[in-house]
């Protein structure tokens, strides 16, 4: 199939709308075609930018208060007095509501930005000619390789008897924080596992649980002072399956 035909399916793939056989075929093509992989990464970044831009110009609580005060000045003295008596509690509730809404929206934007950055790291690794720096399916080879390269240690699960295969790992960065990026394979699909220290910063802004974003399923959790993220275009059950193995390794 020509690259032009593959590229017509990229948006559906990134939005998680392709059926499994087509998604697997496109993923396999992206692993072997650097031009299409770069195009996919570009579209992920565009989707992320559009999503963030849509939230950039929302009216602030202060602006809403100024509008309310301006409207109030056009009323008569009696009306203003009645409004102040009757509406001050309502205005207080409105301000509280706006403040809570702003906080929730800001937190949601942070989570979406975090998920998008992780998806970018995942796609970038798959688009790279060298997705991993240490190539091995042996956890006893991959784990020691990270010693001295990141400021923490971690354990990897025994995959014997499972469908998962460890391909290797590399050092990565999120919000200037160094961490481990491991790549696993499942039925010709690649799954990224990111591990960072949990300092309560950007890496901890997302609540634990499975989410679907930018065409990928993602799950994260905190364990033993570390924050784990698992990202891939496989099903949520497959993501949860690998997560369970990682949690058992501790």
Mean pLDDT of 137-162: 94
Which tokens go with 59?
């009216």
Q: What are phi and psi of 75, to 5 degrees?
A: -85, 165
User: What is 3-53+107-249's CATH number, 3.30.70.360, 3.40.630.30, 3.30.200.100, 3.40.50.2000?
Assistant: 3.30.200.100
Annotated domain spans of the chain: 3-53+107-249
Helix, strand, coil fractions of the chain, as percent rounded to 5: 50, 20, 25
107-111, 195-199, 240-244, 246-250: segment of lowest average pLDDT: 107-111
Pairing of strands 209-213, 189-197: unpaired
Q: Are 164 and 185 in contact (CB under 8 A)?
A: yes
Mean pLDDT of 232-248: 92
d(CA 70, CA 185): 60
What's the pLDDT band for 242 if we cut at 50, 70, 90?
A: very high
Residue-level pLDDT at 213: 67
Residue-level pLDDT at 99: 46
Adjacency order of strands within the sheet including 226-232: 134-135, 165-174, 177-186, 189-197, 226-232, 216-223, 209-213
Could you report the per-residue pLDDT of 106-115, keeping only the tens digit for each? 445 566 777 7
């Amino acid at each position: 199939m020509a690259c032009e035909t593959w590229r017509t399916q990229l948006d559906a793939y990134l939005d998680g709308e392709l059926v499994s056989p087509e998604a697997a075929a496109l993923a396999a093509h992206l692993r072997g075609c650097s031009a299409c992989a770069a195009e996919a990464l570009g579209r992920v970044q565009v989707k992320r930018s559009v999503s963030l831009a849509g939230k950039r110009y929302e009216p602030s609580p202060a602006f809403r208060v100024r509008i309310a005060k301006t409207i109030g000045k056009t009323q008569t003295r009696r009306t203003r007095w009645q409004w102040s008596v009757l509406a001050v509690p309502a205005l207080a509730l409105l301000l509280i509501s706006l403040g809570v809404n702003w906080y929730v929206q800001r937190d949601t934007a942070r989570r979406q930005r975090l998920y998008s950055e992780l998806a970018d790291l995942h796609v970038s690794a798959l688009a790279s000619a060298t997705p991993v720096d240490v190539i091995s399916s042996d956890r006893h080879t991959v784990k020691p390789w990270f010693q001295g390269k990141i400021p923490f240690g971690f354990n990897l699960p025994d995959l014997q008897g499972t469908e998962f295969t460890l391909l290797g790992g590399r050092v990565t960065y999120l919000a200037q924080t160094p961490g481990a990026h491991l790549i696993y394979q499942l039925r010709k699909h690649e799954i990224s596992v990111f591990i960072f220290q949990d300092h309560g910063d950007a890496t901890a802004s997302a609540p634990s649980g499975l989410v679907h974003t930018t065409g990928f399923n993602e799950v994260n959790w905190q364990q033993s002072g570390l924050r784990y993220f698992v990202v891939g275009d496989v099903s949520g059950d497959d993501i949860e399956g690998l997560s369970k193995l990682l949690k058992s390794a501790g």
